[in-house]
């Protein structure tokens, strides 16, 4: 199992300073002039106080959050030029280099941070993450264990160890480490999701408890609702599955997988073919290249003896997915109907 490491970025919430004076015909222009972005506000402060290192660090974080890595790099270098003793600046430098794809300089910056402040768990944690990305598992465990030595309740360190064990196909150790993460942080969403998937692969019904907890932790997560909904579906709990998929669709109305799964349940388990057609159609509207949705809508039409519609959908599925065996067999089956 492979993952792509994504470091935490600051979520920038834009805010507005709006002047309410003036006539209604001038309101739009006045509002436009009064909008000040967080970056602009910090830039104004830097212009007034060019030797305050923390301001450059704050602006670098904002630039990094919106993908302007060159500007972020320039700002963190300025912060370091003013004050090179701040561990957090070296960590940020490592994050920026990683975002730029420069693994070696990222690693060097994080090692500098680690050497400067060996009692700070963050450099160890990020070095563990980086080495997980590089699949250098010996170093993953080295740095994760260092983070745990500093803070025995460091849930992310246990999670990273668990992921490394999983990539090395040691499921038992992966479970132990990730359960430790959830014991140390009862709101650790990623660990609950992963444990749910691991136990589901083992056909252990406890998977449902982990996936349900993930939904509780992040009720606005499409991933959480989908994973739990699919688990419920696979265990024949269709009404509960519908509830999860419908919650998902309120968050993401164009989620083709949720529409498809509801259609599939109506087709296969409820034999409600008109409903199935309705939901497969919504899946197709969400993704007009969804071959499986065309095929299953074709099956629904076939069950209703609407053979022309079925034939059309089977042919469309075949055009989207060449040599689609199920579609070929279906076309043969209704050839003379």
CA neighbor of 146 nearest in space, from 119, 166, 169: 119
pLDDT for the residue numbered 336: 84
pLDDT for the residue numbered 34: 44
| Whether the predicted pLDDT of 4 surpasses 90 | no
Q: What is the mean pLDDT of the chain?
A: 91
Cα–Cα dist 187/165, whole Å: 22
Nearest-Å Rg of the Cα atoms of the chain is 26
Domains and CATH numbers, the chain: 1-83 (1.25.40), 254-337 (1.25.40.10)
| Whether the predicted pLDDT of 50 surpasses 80 | yes
**Mean pLDDT computed over 150-169:** 98
Enter the tokens of residue 291: 């071959």
3-class DSSP assignment, residue 153:
coil
Q: At what angle do helices 256-264 and 273-286 cross, to 10 degrees?
A: 170
pLDDT tier for residue 74 given thresholds of 50, 70 and 90:
very high
Cα–Cα dist 60/51, whole Å: 15
**Mean pLDDT computed over 175-194:** 99
| Whether the predicted pLDDT of 20 surpasses 60 | no
Q: Lowest-pLDDT range, 128-132, 212-216, 311-315, 333-337?
A: 333-337
3-state helix, strand, coil in the chain (%, to 5): 75, 0, 25
Q: How many CB atoms lie within 10 A of CB 135?
A: 12
Q: What is the pLDDT of residues 241-262, one digit of tens each?
A: 999 999 999 999 999 999 999 9
Contact predicate 250/281, CB 8 Å:
no
pLDDT tier for residue 11 given thresholds of 50, 70 and 90:
very low
Q: Which residue has the higher pLDDT, 20 or 189?
A: 189
pLDDT for the residue numbered 337: 82
pLDDT for the residue numbered 181: 99
| Whether the predicted pLDDT of 328 surpasses 50 | yes
| Whether the predicted pLDDT of 1 surpasses 80 | no
pLDDT tier for residue 29 given thresholds of 50, 70 and 90:
very low
Q: Lowest-pLDDT range, 8-17, 182-191, 196-205, 214-223?
A: 8-17
Cα–Cα dist 176/162, whole Å: 7
CA neighbor of 334 nearest in space, from 298, 292, 293: 298
pLDDT tier for residue 278 given thresholds of 50, 70 and 90:
very high
Contact predicate 174/148, CB 8 Å:
no
Q: What is the pLDDT of residues 81-91, one digit of tens each?
A: 999 999 999 99
| Percent of the chain residues topping a pLDDT of 70 | 89
DSSP, res 241: H
């Amino acid at each position: 199992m492979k993952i792509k490491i994504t470091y935490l970025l600051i979520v920038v919430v834009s805010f507005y300073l709006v002047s309410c004076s003036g006539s209604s015909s001038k309101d739009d222009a006045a509002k436009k002039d009064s909008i000040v972005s967080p970056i602009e506000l910090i830039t104004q402060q830097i212009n007034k106080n060019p030797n305050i290192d923390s301001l450059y660090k704050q602006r670098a974080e904002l630039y990094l959050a919106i993908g302007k890595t060159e500007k972020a790099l320039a700002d963190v270098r300025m912060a370091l030029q003013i004050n090179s003793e701040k561990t957090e600046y070296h960590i940020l430098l490592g994050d920026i280099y990683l975002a730029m794809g420069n693994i070696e300089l990222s690693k060097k910056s994080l090692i500098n941070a680690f050497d400067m402040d060996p009692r700070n768990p963050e450099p160890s944690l990020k070095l563990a993450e980086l080495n997980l990305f590089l699949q250098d598992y010996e170093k993953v465990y080295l740095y994760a264990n260092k983070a745990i030595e500093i803070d025995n309740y460091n849930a992310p360190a246990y999670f990273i160890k668990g992921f490394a064990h999983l990539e090395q196909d040691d499921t038992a150790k992966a479970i132990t480490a990730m359960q430790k993460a959830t014991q140390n942080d009862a709101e650790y969403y990623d660990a609950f999701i992963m444990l749910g998937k691991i136990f589901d692969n083992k056909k252990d019904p406890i998977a449902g408890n982990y996936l349900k907890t993930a939904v509780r932790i992040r009720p606005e997560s499409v991933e959480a609702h989908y994973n739990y909904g699919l688990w419920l579906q696979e265990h024949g709990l269709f009404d509960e599955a519908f509830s999860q998929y419908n919650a998902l669709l309120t968050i993401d109305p164009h989620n083709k997988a949720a529409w498809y799964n509801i259609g599939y349940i109506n087709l296969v388990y409820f034999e409600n073919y008109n409903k199935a057609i309705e939901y497969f159609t919504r899946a197709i509207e969400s993704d007009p290249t969804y071959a499986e949705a065309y095929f299953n809508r074709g099956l629904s039409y076939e069950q209703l003896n609407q053979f022309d519609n079925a034939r059309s959908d089977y042919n469309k599925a075949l055009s989207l997915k060449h040599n689609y065996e199920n579609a070929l067999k279906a076309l043969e089956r209704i050839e003379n109907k």
